[in-house]
A and B are shown apart, each in its own frame.
Chain A
């Protein structure tokens, strides 16, 4: 009788996660100055905020998100973008608090709806990665 083979799925998932973290947590090697690294982090957050805004506007247009819910996402996106531009090295607390408040205003069924769930997760993830950097914790 053959011994049971360990599943390759967890190994592959780990590899994919490591590749993601390796690429998401470090600027390209051409970005060497502290200012460049600050802009890189802010740009990574802005990418996910733009994704969220695009998804919310599209969802509202398609009728899968109520206008009031989409408005919360769009207001957060505009506010976060302005904060990132004004404070590229110190946006952390302001954006994280605003994101927490925005999510509290949105019913869970819409927060988890397929229309925006991926974008919501992307914002959560990018904040988890870059917030400590922005707030000086790492």
Chain B
């Protein structure tokens, strides 16, 4: 592999990946299945609540 590509991977890609993983950990994103289920349920509830409220205030 070309030195430039290796340099770009080492200097840009890898730090970005590490930062991404740290950000996910810091954001408390789900690790266990129970956490994943809770996040899913919360997201579905949010989509339906916000969407139905918006639709009620913007009737066809």
Contact = CB atoms under 8 A, between A and B. Distances in A.
29 contacts: A5-B2, A8-B5, A12-B5, A12-B8, A19-B13, A33-B33, A36-B33, A39-B36, A39-B40, A40-B36, A43-B39, A46-B44, A50-B43, A50-B47, A53-B47, A53-B50, A57-B54, A68-B60, A70-B58, A71-B55, A71-B60, A74-B51, A74-B55, A74-B58, A75-B51, A78-B47, A82-B48, A84-B44, A85-B44
B48 A35 contact: no
Contact of B40 (A5, A12, A46, A68): A46
B46 interface: yes
B10 interface: no
B14 to A, nearest CB: 10
Contacts of B2: 5-6, 8
Contacts, number: 81
Interface of B: 2, 4-5, 8-9, 13, 17, 30-33, 36-37, 39-41, 43-44, 46-48, 50-52, 54-55, 58, 60
Query: DSSP class of B's interface residues: helix, strand, loop or mixed?
Result: helix
Contacts of A53: 47, 50-51
Interface in A44-88: 46-47, 49-50, 53, 57, 60, 67-68, 70-71, 74-75, 77-78, 81-82, 84-85, 88
